[in-house]
Amino acid sequence: MDFTVFAQQIANGLVNGMAYVLIATGLTLVFGVLRIVNFAHGEFYMLGAYITYFVGTLFGLDYIAAAAISAVVVAGLGVAANKLIFWPLRRDHEFTILLSSLGLALLIANGGELLFGADPKYVESPFADEVLDIGTVTLTQQRVLVFAAAVVALIAVYLFIRYSRFGKMMRATAQNPDGAALTGINIGLVHTYTFALACGLAALSGALVGPTVMIFPTIGNWAVLKGFIVVIMGGLGSVTGALFAGLLLGVIESLGGGYISLGFMEAIGYAMIIAVLLWRPNGLFSTARGLR
């Protein structure tokens, strides 16, 4: 077995996996804290990629600035979505909220097609084509950036949730929303911040991964599907679970595609969920209700 190719496939898998983790973390946060299954999550990924593109081309800003602005703007859009849809529906059945999020997803995706055009676009980044040789493994700078930026973002999120006052509020709400409200936590504010964080992460993922592929308005479907696979495998509400499951999915897809069959690369992900859920029905890192 050629070790170079093996190492390369693992490296590719880790990079892809990190992108999945970024998408999944936001999704699992929204579920863990707010008990909302948000099908529109992938659309914020798409918006992150597109806003980076437009800020870069229309205002001529450099890639990093464009990506940062995009994350902030989409976080704002997430807050707006919460205010318009999820907050007013918070007392309704979980299914109603799920269907509404599906409607939102369709709205954003098709609106995107109208606004941005259905033709594929390419997000410019100075790191996209430059190649780094790390030992025998070849990676573009952009892919290294995806991994590094994701690690930084995740550490920041973890520290925030663990140690900041607001993080504690989020964890309290995750454990028991009514109890948390009774102790004086402003649940509305928790909603707002959670959505801002989740959508910001999704947008960041879109901005980082965008330059490695073509973007078009329907990529949100792909993103939300990957996000859900990872979240289900890692356990709904578990951030550490999302981290492990995401990386695992990335690596297994890469190795499976590389050594078994490319045609079944997607199927491998689904087969993995089935296997994991048979063994651990609540996901790999599931425990009682709460945010971990």
Partner 1 sequence: MFGRRTLLAAAAALALTLPAFGAQAQQPPVRIALIGPMSGTGAFEGQLGLEGAQAMAAVINAKGGVAGGRKIELLTYDDKGSPEDGVSAAKRAMEQDNVDMIIGGWFSAVALSMKEVTRDKIITVMTSSQHPKVTEEGHKYLFRLNATSAMMSEFYSKAICERIKPKSIAFMNVNDDWGRLELDNYTKLLTGCGIEVKGHEFYNRTDTDFTTALTKLKSLNADAIYVAAINTSQGATIYRQIKQTGYRGKVIASAGNMNPKLVELSGNSLEQVYSASPFTEDGAAPSLKPWLEQYRKDYKNDPSFIAALGAQAVQTLAFGVDAAGGDPRAYDKIAAALKSQAVPTVMGELRFSDKGQASQAIHLVQVQKKQIVSVRD
Q: If binding is defined by CB under 8 A, does position 2 make contact with partner 1?
A: yes
Give bridge partners of residue 220 from the DSSP assignment.
Answer: none
Is there a contact between 75 and 48 (Cβ–Cβ < 8 Å)? Answer: no
Which CB atom, from 189 or from 213, has the smaller least distance to partner 1?
213
Interface size with partner 1, residues (CB under 8 A): 34
Tokens of 232: 């289900």
Minimum distance, C-beta of residue 255 to partner 1, in the bound complex (Å): 9
Site for partner 1 in 242-261 (CB under 8 A): 253-254, 257-258
Minimum distance, C-beta of residue 258 to partner 1, in the bound complex (Å): 5
Site for partner 1 in 105-164 (CB under 8 A): 113, 117-120, 122, 128-129, 131, 133, 138, 140
Which CB atom, from 158 or from 222, has the smaller least distance to partner 1?
222
Minimum distance, C-beta of residue 246 to partner 1, in the bound complex (Å): 15
Minimum distance, C-beta of residue 254 to partner 1, in the bound complex (Å): 5
Minimum distance, C-beta of residue 259 to partner 1, in the bound complex (Å): 9
Which CB atom, from 24 or from 97, has the smaller least distance to partner 1?
24
Q: If binding is defined by CB under 8 A, does position 263 make contact with partner 1?
A: yes
Question: Among 67-75, 93-101, 215-223, 281-289, which window interacts with partner 1 (CB under 8 A)?
Answer: 215-223
Give bridge partners of residue 131 from the DSSP assignment.
Answer: 140
Minimum distance, C-beta of residue 11 to partner 1, in the bound complex (Å): 9
Which CB atom, from 156 or from 271, has the smaller least distance to partner 1?
271
Tokens of 208: 């980082």
Binding site for partner 1 (CB under 8 A): 2, 4-5, 8-9, 12, 16, 113, 117-120, 122, 128-129, 131, 133, 138, 140, 212-214, 216-219, 222, 253-254, 257-258, 262-263, 265
